[in-house]
Amino acid sequence: MNCPVCGKEMKKGTLWSNRTVFFEERQDDGIALMPGGVQVKLTPPGLHVNECIAWCCSDCKKIVADYAEIPQKWSLF
């Protein structure tokens, strides 16, 4: 994948955490837009290592994540 900022080749890897990772739209003052703002789950919930496919650009320090296979609604039980 080429970087959407500089156009150079990106390195494929994983974005991971021991907790669920979210993207949440924020206003300029840093306050989350709740409710009704954009919230995207990048990893499934659980007590295991969570990961999603991502690409990293070493030149511009940007990361692009692919969350297409991650369900956006879950039941905790």
Question: Which residues, 6+ apart, have CB-to-CB distance to 25 below 8 Å?
Answer: 32, 33, 37, 38, 39
pLDDT for residue 34 is more than 60: no
Question: Stretch 27-51: mean pLDDT, rounded?
Answer: 62
Res. 14 pLDDT band, cuts 50 70 90:
confident
**Predicted TM-score (pTM) of this structure:** 0.65
